[in-house]
Amino acid sequence: MSEQDASDASNELRFSRVFDAPRELVFRCMIDPDHLTHFWGPAGVSAPRDRITVDARPGGVFETVMVNDADGSEYPTRAVYDEVREPELLAWTESSSGMQVTTQFVALGPDRTEVRIHQRFVPEALLAPEARAGFLTALDRFDTYLGGVR
């Protein structure tokens, strides 16, 4: 597993990964359909080039369709960019879920870039401030607990 941590005092999920590549290039990969098509789908899932739409500016759309290689089932996702600051930051909101995703590109060196994903996810029920606090850490603990229980 890569370095990542789902626990935080806030309601965010965070993931990060360090790449051996210049920040400008990593940023381009995240907004260029010719690149996105190669990595946007997770393992066993494709993201066809001709079904990716990127209009990387505030208010512009970011649409993808992920296709399961095994059974052809499709997962279309539509998002709208909230903020685009090349080459350091991308933020979008997914239209169906309201989930906000912020991606930061941090230059660790000329050929080394850390990508940090902050995912503010929160189903409706968790929007109350008291509900947000600490629930993820609680879930992490449960995961440990239940690992032993099953």
Partner 1 sequence: MTITEERLDAAFAALADPTRRAIVSRLARGDATVGELAAPFDMSLPGISKHLKVLERSGLISRRRDAQFRPCHLEVEALDGALDWIGTNRRLWDERFDKLDALLAGMRRPLSPAGPRKGKERAHE
Task: List interacting residues with partner 1 (CB under 8 A).
Answer: 1-2, 4, 6, 13, 15, 17, 19-22, 24-26, 28-29, 34-35, 38-43, 111, 115, 117, 119, 121, 123-126, 128, 130-132, 134-136, 138-139, 141-143, 145-146, 149-150
Write down the least CB distance from residue 1 to partner 1, Å: 7
Which secondary structure element, helix H or strand E, spans residue 24, and what is its range? helix 23-31
The SS3 assignment for 16 reads strand
Write down the least CB distance from residue 119 to partner 1, Å: 6
Structure tokens given for 110: 């000329």
* Cβ burial 78-96 (10 Å sphere, 16+ → b, else e): ebebeebeebeebbbbbee
Q: Report the residue number, 6 or 61, with the smaller CB distance to partner 1.
A: 6
Q: Report the residue number, 44 or 59, with the smaller CB distance to partner 1.
A: 44
Encoded amino acid at 123, one letter: P
